[in-house]
Structures are given as structure tokens and as C-alpha cells.
Structure 1
């Protein structure tokens, strides 16, 4: 029986960790390129949850009742709109502050987070919103009394998250855009001298991070069915913690940190108490940073002279 409980908690942890990892990618990419923590990224995820619900309602209203088609259209439109949000935020808010001391963008990021929260609260209302469950059913492994249940939606979250991570890895390591991103990350001034449009690269990094948050927003909305204007704050902090845990600036570290944090939360909830799962997760984060400040897969920062 204990084996089934452990297996169930690990499945729950992988599902939750996949979401953390997708959102953590946005934090780690922006930090890796320009050394800035975009604390508004969690609220970009919140925007994607609202966009996905509105889009789903619209496509259903116009007669698209096929669940796979409706989900695909919702996912694509949400990715595009949320990517535009990310581009707009970078273009209008962060770009003018580039080159200033690091405190100004940090405070501005917190301000952008508050603006997005209040914008959604005023435009969509403060009440909890919801969407109908579209994907039901689950797989059961075991007998009638003791079994591991894997919901189809949870399985879809894990698979899509891994595919998104694999596609992003190919983009960074196998394309010209990826080489430009890595060059900008290593030395922005030298990359500019070599003819790379670093301004465009930074904008695209914000777009890619927002698109990853959009994927997470669609998946979480379809899985849990409810959200509000404050949901981005909590999950944003968790995703940022996952990025730091894995090694901020490292894409594999972001996903590893997300999976590890989600698994720890789930195991602690199942075996100890769900009331203190956040305390336990952050305690593990503190311990990792004490003994390995750069994170699990991060590299120590080297000061350029």
C-alpha cells in the first residue's frame, strides 16, 4: 500500500513540477540574458489563464465543439496574445531602464506586477473565474482497493511540458537565434560588435518566456478549472524558487528545479501535512543555497573585467 501512495504522490509531484518548470523558464531566460529578475512574470502567467478561458468561450460560442480542436486553437491563440504581452512589457517598461542600476528594473518589475493584477481585477472582476472540465477520465494501475490513478489531464501536462522543454532546448542549441541568445548572454557588448541585434534578441527572450507561461496557463486552467487575478503571485514565487533551486540562468536547471520542488511538495503533503508544504519546500531551497549557492545545475558567476 505504501508503494501505491508513494507512486501517487510522485505522479502528483511531476504534474505540479512540470508547471513550475515551464514558468521558471521565463525567469531563468531573462536573468541569463540581461541579469534581471522579472517579478511580473507570474502575472503574465495569470494573464494567460484569463486569455485561455475567454478564448475557449469564444471558440465554443462559434461552434467549435471538438475538444482536441478547441484546446489546440485555445493554446495557439493564448500563446500569441501572451507573447505580445511579454513583448509589450519589455518594449515599454524594461527597455528604457536597460543600463541603469539593477535596483530600478527590480522595483519596476514589482510595479508592473501590481499594474497587471489591478488591470485584470478591474476589467474581469475580483471573483474566482472558472472553465468547464473538458478532459475527464484516468488510468488506474493496481487492483480495486490499492491503485495509482493518473488523470489524462495530468498525463497531458507532463507530456506537453517535456515536449515544450525539448523544443526550447533545440531552439537554443540548434538554431541561429539560439546562438545569438547564447552570445548575448556571454557578452552583450561583444555580440553587438559582431553584428547581433541584441535588442531584438532580448525582446524575443521575453516573448519566449511568456509563451512558456502561456502553455502553463492553459494547462493549469484546464486541469483545475478555476483561477483569479491573484493566482500569478503565488505560483510565480514558486516558479522563481524552482529556477533558483535548479540554478537560475540554466534551462535544464529550471525544469529540474520545478520537478524537484513539485515532488517535494507532493511528498510532504502526502506523508506529513499539506498545511506546511510551502515551509518545507522553501526550507529545502534555503539548504541548497547554503551548500550550493549557484543552484543544482547553475555555474558560479564570473565577474567580467
Structure 2
């Protein structure tokens, strides 16, 4: 029983990171109704950029570790911000009126570009951060040895706080009402004096920011985010959000959290080599049994 509970608590950490990715994806897809395959690449690119910039600050600029981490975070924020704005203007802007598949193909190419850019920047090497906040936190008291590291607890709190903040904005502010209005009827909102293009750009920046935060938290915990992990994460999030629904970011985040828990339990009882096969099989089954024709058109 203790082993199962330990896997369950470890799964909460995976669930928090997956939920962040799914939330960021639906912030974009729920507004644009276009399939974006670059979110996984942004996730990996953010983590990789943070690690490379931190390594540069530590080894070349002779910074202390906290200063190097802050420098790496700043560089990652700048790169993702510039990239998100460029994507909104150069990909979504010109291709919005075209076929749905044009954005899919363009973001697939962007994903490959970002993965190769990260690989070249790292000289096809893996850089690692030192372990941080690795002290265990006893969750059920000293009698039951079930714990998470301090960094896992911080990641979980940050992820769920970000989702809670996003839901507060979506439900209680004018920004959330405008997002829902543009998602449902962009032409009608334009006649009411709201610029759908401006709202779309803001949503893309917010979605990429959330995914970049997930990449940053992942890099801190694992110490490394490889440049070749973006595609698999992007496909997982696409399938998860298709199963959870594109209309509400919270529903997609809940679905992603469940998948994160399933992955953790699978890794504890079965071969890790077959984990992705099991997850994708589960998602395909859910899609085949519940998705409706309208949702199929949106994927």
C-alpha cells in the first residue's frame, strides 16, 4: 500500500506539469480552432534554453548559481516571448483565413526548426543542472515513509497556482469574457469593437508562456530537457486536449492530470518501454468512444 501511495504522490507531480501544458494549449486552440504542434517544442525549447543560458552564466560569466539560474530564466522568457509574438504575426496572422491544415503544417515545421536549433546550440550534447531542493518532505508523517522532494512540492504548488490564476481570469474578468466571445463568434466581437487579432496574439503569448513555465519547472526538477522530447510531448497534449475538449482549458488540464497519474502508476508496475504505447492507446480509445463530429473538425 505504501508503494502505491508513493507512486500516486509522484503522479501528482507529473499531473501538474501535464495540466500546465494542456491548459496552455487550449488557451490557443480554443480561440484559433487550429491544431498547433509547436507547443511541445516550445516546452522543450524553454527548458533547453534555460539550461544552456544557466550553463553559460555559470561557466563563462562566472556567476553564482542563483544568479546563473536567474540569468537563464530571463533569457528563456525573452526568447519565448519574441518567438510567441513572431508566431502570432508570421504564422497565425497570414494563415488564419486558409485551410485548418496550413497552421498544422507550419507549426510542425516550426517544431522541427526549434528542435534542431536547440540541438545545434547544445552541440548535440546534454547539459545538466545540479540537484536542487532535493531534501524529502514527509507527506503522511514519520510513521509512513512517503515523501516528495522540496522541488516537487514547489513545482506542484506553482503549477496549480498558475491554473487557478488562469481560471480566475477566465471566469471573473473581462479578459476571460472576451476570450470566450472571440472563441465563439469572432466576427460578432469585431462588430462590437473588439479586435480578434489582438486577442489572438495575447492568447498565443499567454499559452506559450504557460507551456514555457512547464518547461522551466521540468528542467529544474529533472536537471535536463532534451531537444528531442518536444514532439512526443506535443502529440500527447494534442490527444489529451482532444479527449478533454477544446472549449474549456480547465477540462483539458484535468484530463492531462489524469494521464500524468496513469503514466506514474504504469511506470511503477509495468515496463517503462511500453508506457507511451499504453498512454496513446488509452487516448485513442477515449477519442474513438466519445468524440463527436464537431470536435473532429476542430482537431
Q: TM-score, normalised by structure 2?
A: 0.89
Secondary structure of the structure 1 residue equivalent to 2:146: strand
State the superposition RMSD in angstroms.
2.6
Are 2:134 and 2:151, in contact at CA under 8 Å, matched by a contact in 1?
Answer: yes
Q: How many residues align?
A: 295
Secondary structure of the structure 2 residue equivalent to 1:227: coil
Q: For 2:259, which of 241, 246, 261 is the aligned residue?
A: 261
Secondary structure of the structure 2 residue equivalent to 1:129: coil
Residue 190 of structure 1 is matched in structure 2 by: 188
Residue 152 of structure 1 is matched in structure 2 by: 150
Residue 211 of structure 1 is matched in structure 2 by: 209
Name the CA shift for 1:199/1:141 in 2 (closer, same or farther; >3 Å).
closer
Name the CA shift for 1:126/1:8 in 2 (closer, same or farther; >3 Å).
same
Q: For 1:91, which of 89, 92, 98 is the aligned residue?
A: 89
Residue 6 of structure 1 is matched in structure 2 by: 4
Secondary structure of the structure 2 residue equivalent to 1:135: coil
Distance of 2:133 and 2:72 partners within structure 1: 14
Gaps of 5+ in 1: none
Q: For 1:130, which of 128, 151, 165 is the aligned residue?
A: 128
Is the counterpart of residue 245 in structure 1 residue 264 in structure 2? no
Residue 101 of structure 2 is matched in structure 1 by: 103
Distance of 1:203 and 1:108 partners within structure 2: 17
Are 1:84 and 1:207, in contact at CA under 8 Å, matched by a contact in 2?
Answer: no
User: CA offsets, 1:171-205, max 9 Å, x none?
Assistant: 22222222221110010111111110111110111
Name the CA shift for 1:140/1:94 in 2 (closer, same or farther; >3 Å).
same
Distance of 1:249 and 1:112 partners within structure 2: 25
Gaps of 5+ in 2: none
Residue 47 of structure 1 is matched in structure 2 by: 45
Are 2:41 and 2:231, in contact at CA under 8 Å, matched by a contact in 1?
Answer: yes
